[in-house]
Amino acid sequence: MSKTVNGVVIDDTFAEAFGMSGTGIIITADTLKWARIAATVATGFGTSVIGCGAECGIDKELSPDETPDGRPGVRILIFGFSPDSLVPQIRNRIGQCVLTSPGSACYAGFTADKTIGLGKGPRLFGDGYQTAKKLGGTRYWRVPVMDGEFVIEEETGLTTDAVGGGNMLILGTDRAGLLETAEAAVDAIAKVDDVITPFPGGIVRSGSKVGAKYAGMFASTNDAFCPTLRGTVQKSELAPDTLAVLEIVIDGLTSKAVADAMRAGLKAVTDTGAKRGVTRITAGNYGGKLGQHHYHLKDLI
């Protein structure tokens, strides 16, 4: 039975999400501006594991008190299929995007028993001039660069209990109002720790179904939710007045964080959606057979 909250219909369905490996990294710089720049570039082209190799995003900004070096920072999260697939992603993203960014430094942003290399690759840029400084249980590498030293922690924490693909689909009768509502939901989700929304601005307009008519395509357009195909495809999910659908995908270091994020997102949509033309919220799943994590919308409102 679907439910209606503040005039928005919430389907009795669930978001199906997958187990992933994930890690957190803190990037600091002389100013928050430059920490943001390094973090934005390092998490770029990180929307979907299928094509990007990793799903990445900014979790939150950190005040100088919250970082190891007392400078402003940003915490990013990186998710991959497996720890092995994360290794080259971390090495390349940090090596190409953080090492290169003026004044940057890079630290573990997640504490766990399992660890994954952070500075193990980038330190070699030092060509033998790099030195290590071990303080307590933490080893920092100091790599001489042209504006001083790039400091990077040797390891960061790793979890294999991360969750990728928590999601919600927001349907509406007004494209601009729908986008505003989705933005509000992304903003609400951003306040939840340990989660990211990896797509552009946190929002996907090209939801996909599994498979395609073309060989080699793993995913293709979710025709049941394409408004321009309503009536012409075998099964359309859309009511006659639905003009557009936007999806929010959530990755989190823990299942609880993903559930909290979905709850925050749903609340933002139901609080303000109706007056912006939002009519319905549903979620993407594969019948429950593929993903280990199911988030029932009715449990989250």
The alpha carbon torsion through 45, 51, 52, 54 (nearest 10 deg) reads 130
Q: Identify which of residues 98 and 238 has a Cβ nearer to other proteins in the complex.
A: 98
Separation between Cα atoms, residue 286 and residue 110, nearest integer Å:
31
Closer CB to other proteins, residue 133 or residue 256?
133
Minimum CB–partner distance for residue 71 and other proteins (Å): 7
Residue whose CB is less far from other proteins, 132 or 290: 132
CA distances from 245 to 72, 184, 211, 240, 248 (A): 37, 15, 20, 13, 10
Q: What tokens were used for 37?
A: 């720049």
Q: Is the dihedral of CA 281, 287, 291, 296 positive or negative?
A: positive
> Measured between alpha carbons, how far is 17 from 291 in angstroms, rounded to an integer?
5
Q: Which CB, 140 or 199, lies closer to other proteins?
A: 140
CB of 28: closest distance to other proteins in angstroms? 8
Smallest gap from Cβ 219 to other proteins, in A, equals 43
Shorter beta-carbon distance to other proteins: residue 131 or 160: 131
CB 301 within 8 A of CB 10: yes
Bridge partners of residue 249, in order along the sequence: 167
* Least separation in angstroms between CB 104 and other proteins: 9
Q: Are 166 and 17 in contact (CB under 8 A)?
A: yes
Give the residues lining the site for other proteins (CB under 8 A): 68-71, 105, 129, 131-136, 138, 140, 142, 148-149, 151
Least distance CB 50 / other proteins (angstroms): 37
